[in-house]
Amino acid sequence: MTDWTHESGARIAAAVQAGDVTARSVVERHLDVIEARNPLLKAFTDVTAGRALANAERIDARRRRGEALPPLAGMPFAVKNLFDIAGLPTRAGSKINRDRPSSESDATAISRLEAAGAILIGGVNMGEYAYDFTGRNAHDGHSRNPHDPERMTGGSSGGSGGCVAAGMVPVALGSDTNGSIRVPASLCGLFGLKPTYGALSRGGSFPFVTSLDHVGPLARSVEDLARVHDAMRGRDPRDPACWGGPVEPLAPQIETGIGGLRIARAGGYFTRLASPQALEAVETVAGALGAFQVAEIPEAERARAAAFVMTMTEGAALHQERLRQRIADFDPEVRDRLLAGAMLPGAWYHRAQVFRAWYKEAVAELFRQVDVLIAPATPVSAPLVDQRVFTVDGQDLPVRANLGIFTQPISFIGLPVAAVPVWPAEGMPIGVQVIAAAGRDDVVLRVARHLERAGVCTSRVAG
């Protein structure tokens, strides 16, 4: 008998369409898993069971009437709790925000996914105000990695990674400012899509660094990433940076293979401070793609530094009044970073933005010579939940600030990335970034799907 909590969203939707299973029974089974596993894993912070069951009933009724169902009919999904859910305060991982009034409407992403038949199951845990790479949360408890609950999920979309890896939902939405989709995808053994900046609407989501904020899905299959992306795309007046995404939907393109693509490994910065496991994962993926060329992303280390300063400054500007009014209610680790950010010179921020304009053109030039770059997603696999430092190449690096050293230079200029999971013979998975030129989200998913079909990159439910 099929356990629908181990299936992809696409398989679930096809089965609901065909009448092989009801949307209600799919939702009930996922709610059972949440009830059983969430007390340990701390993935969900809000379960919208009543809403989910009512939506499932509506889909089942439409099928009984013989109506054609929308493409994601019956697919459960969760959202990082910075997305507005009507009737709930938008926590954004904080204690402070839960005193705000409940949201009157859903985020654009939720509305669009529900219009496509997907069923919202609830909001999930995250690092406070998304200023995090670990999945730790001082208020709701730390997200725990379903593949080893002693280890972290990565963050800040920690609950998004945890709930998909645990089989609580097949797909969850996260946000990615400096790596917050790609880091948990890497540590939880999932596929993740950080789309081109502005491709998917952030309307109705709580911001962190608007110059760098993206939203996107984490899933156990590439097809689910593509189908969810396609349901979410389109312009949105609620997000001034949203240009609407690629003209053509991605799902029909993912099976077109990698023929003709020029693929290279990212050298230099992306090989330093990477653990042997991270380098081996890149070798495995590069080998499967026939990527023997090495290309250097120019000035990536400077880009990471500029992203770091922009993040501190914009984050501090956003939260300055909350720091003055509610200092005791912040997670201490986030509080100290925000306070320091409020002290940085304005000229640094401006310089970082000007550097960004230069870097964008320099990297665009590189993408005239290659179509795809392969790089590690994280320097190490999942550290222990309370681990403060990891060691690479003899250097001790603080976990919180450094899990994103390879993701920051890429999101800094908004390039599309698919994080793909690589499993060692034993132990925890680690992710690899598949990076393309801005607007070529189709290319990163074609490559990811090729790797998935070849069995090089796979995802599975833990336990």
Sites of contact with other proteins (CB under 8 A)? 196-198, 211, 233-235, 240-241, 243-245, 247, 299, 301-306, 308-309, 312, 323-324, 327, 332-333, 335-337, 339-344, 348, 350-358, 360-361, 364, 401, 413-415, 437-439
Nearer to other proteins, 283 or 358 (CB): 358
Q: Minimal distance in Å, beta carbon 418 to other proteins? A: 16
Q: Which residues of 75-98 are buried (b: 16+ CB within 10 A; e: fewer)?
A: bbbbbbbbbbbbebbbbbbbbbbb
Nearer to other proteins, 63 or 194 (CB): 194
The active-site residue out of 175, 180, 186, 211 is 180
φ/ψ region of 396 (left if φ > 0, alpha if ψ in -120 to 50, else beta) reads beta
Residue type (1 letter), 129: Y
Nearer to other proteins, 103 or 320 (CB): 320
Nearer to other proteins, 45 or 411 (CB): 411
Nearest C-alpha neighbor of 137 from the set 148, 147, 124: 124
The active-site residue out of 8, 94, 156, 411 is 156
Nearer to other proteins, 414 or 421 (CB): 414
**CB of 441 closer than 8 Å to CB of 336:** no
Hey, is 30 helix, strand or coil?
helix
Q: Minimal distance in Å, beta carbon 163 to other proteins? A: 29
Q: Minimal distance in Å, beta carbon 442 to other proteins? A: 13
Distance in angstroms (rounded) separating the CA atoms of residues 11 and 6 = 10
Number of H helices and E strands in the chain, helices first, is 14, 15
The active-site residue out of 80, 94, 175, 459 is 80
User: Cis before residue 156, ω within 30 degrees of 0?
Assistant: yes
Cα distances (Å, whole numbers) of residue 130 to 158, 180, 400: 10, 8, 12
**CB of 312 closer than 8 Å to CB of 344:** yes
Distance in angstroms (rounded) separating the CA atoms of residues 242 and 199 = 6
Is 180 annotated in the active site? Answer: yes
Q: Minimal distance in Å, beta carbon 398 to other proteins? A: 9
Catalogue the long-range contacts made by 359-362 (C-beta closer than 8 Å, 24 or more residues apart).
359/298, 359/299, 359/302, 359/303, 359/306, 359/412, 359/413, 360/413, 362/298, 362/299
E runs forming strands in 244-388: 263-266, 293-295, 372-376
Hey, is 89 helix, strand or coil?
coil
Nearer to other proteins, 61 or 340 (CB): 340
Centre a 10 Å sphere on the Cβ of residue 299 and count the other Cβ atoms it contains: 18
Q: Minimal distance in Å, beta carbon 272 to other proteins? A: 14
Is 80 annotated in the active site? Answer: yes
Nearer to other proteins, 40 or 401 (CB): 401
The residues assigned a catalytic role are 80, 156, 180
